[in-house]
Each structure stands twice: as structure tokens, then as C-alpha cells.
Amino acid sequence: MIATATITVMASYNVVAETVVPKSAIYNINHTEIAPVIDGIAHDNEWKSAQALTAFSFPWRDTPAPATEFKALWHAETLYFQYTVTDKNVAIGTDPERAILDSDRVEIFLAKDAELSRYYTMEIDPKARVFSAQASYDMVNKKRASLDSNWTWKGLETKASLTDSGYIVEGKLPLQTLTDLSLWQNKQQTQLLCALMRAEFTQQADGKLDMGWMTWVDPKTPTPNFHNPQTFGSCRLVK
């Protein structure tokens, strides 16, 4: 998953060498004429036109993964996304220092290039709280090289709600933010390197958390690890 980037000073996008992406690792973000309302309830008819992605698994467990559905749409100058999660035991962290990281949550990573010289994370819990960071990956030593959790997404809005079967997370992000971060992978500004994941936690009787990790693309790592190039697929705006 290594592509060579040609970067020009005046360009607001990355021009990368063609990377072969399996069809199973391509998600189409459909265009909508009417923007969905981001309220964490998921009742808008507009979501019916979105591709439903449900191919999430437990790569590091031999047990079936609970149902997870991801949808995304774009309208005018905004990207919209939605996770609908089945979870019989929703964990919500309360520690002021790490509440989101102790919670069930859904995750989206977007990368500047296939080498992850710069990539950006968002992790959103059932209370719509966001843990975000900018990070980099060391291709030589095969590990994350840096992570700055003080960084935040410009213009990101999130809403969430608990349901009888789990929880729903919705959000929207200006397309201009993607441009400013040089995240487009083509001149047409329609392709993104994206990783879609879920942290599935269960509170144990002893107070500890059983931590399960779900991904759309299996990175084939021996232990749980979202921070690597193999976790990423291609998200493509279509009209």
C-alpha cells in the first residue's frame, strides 16, 4: 500500500501514483440533493440513498462481531457520516482524564498519503464526545512515530444517542477542511484514504473493561493495531 506522492507548492491536493485497492476496500460516498440533519437520531430519509457498509469484523478474535453499519453522504460543501451500532452493553467512560478512551466508540482515520506521513483521527463515543489527533507513521520501523492529541478537526460537528439496541453517532465535516489538510488523493478531489473502525468495550464485574477492536479492512497484524497503512481503504465521492 505504498504510493509515491508528487507534491507541488501551489496544489491543495496530493497527486499520488495509482494504488491498487481491492473492491472490498472501496466505499462510495453518494451525493445527496438534500443534506441530512445531524441530530444523532438517524431518521432522515436522505440516509436511504447512502451505501450501507456492514463489513466490520473482529480481526483479533474468533467470535462474530456485533452489527455495525456505516453510512456517508456529501452535499454541497459538506461530508456527512453516520454509524449505527448494535451493543448490548454500552460502556461510557467517566474518568475526566480519559473518558472517551474508556468508552465504546466509532472511529474514522483519514491519511494524507499511503505511507501515513501524516494522518488524522477522530474517535466518537455514545455521548458524541470526540478524541482527535494528528499522527505520523514510521514505515521503516513499522510503528506509529508521533501522535498529537491536542489537535482538533476544524468544523467537525457530532451528535449521538443511545438506542434500545446500542447507539447512533452522526457527524458532518466541511470539505474545505479535507482540502486544507491535503487529504484528497486525486485532482478531482473525490478520493480519500480512510480507515473505519469501532472500539467495542464491555464492562466486567470486576470493573475492568473487556476491549474488543473491530475494523472494516483487516490489517493482518498479530495484535490489535489501527495505526498502520494496512487498515486503510478508499472512500470515494460519487455523483
* Residue pLDDT, tens place only, 176-232: 999 999 999 999 999 999 999 999 999 888 889 999 999 999 999 999 999 999 999
pLDDT digits (tens, 9 = 90+) for 18-77: 456 677 899 999 999 999 999 999 889 999 999 999 999 999 999 999 999 999 999 999
Domain range enclosing 96: 25-222+231-238
Asked if residue 20 belongs to a domain, the reply is: no
Its pTM stands at 0.90
Three-point CA angle 149, 187, 24, nearest 5°: 70
In DSSP terms, which residues pair with 134 in a beta bridge?
Answer: 120, 148
* pLDDT value of residue 42: 85
| Residues contacting residue 8 through CB under 8 Å, at least 6 positions apart | 15
pLDDT digits (tens, 9 = 90+) for 131-157: 999 999 999 999 999 999 999 999 999
Asked if residue 103 belongs to a domain, the reply is: yes
Asked if residue 102 belongs to a domain, the reply is: yes
> CATH no. for residue 33?
2.60.40.1190
Asked if residue 69 belongs to a domain, the reply is: yes
Asked if residue 164 belongs to a domain, the reply is: yes
In DSSP terms, which residues pair with 29 in a beta bridge?
Answer: 237
Asked if residue 11 belongs to a domain, the reply is: no
Asked if residue 3 belongs to a domain, the reply is: no
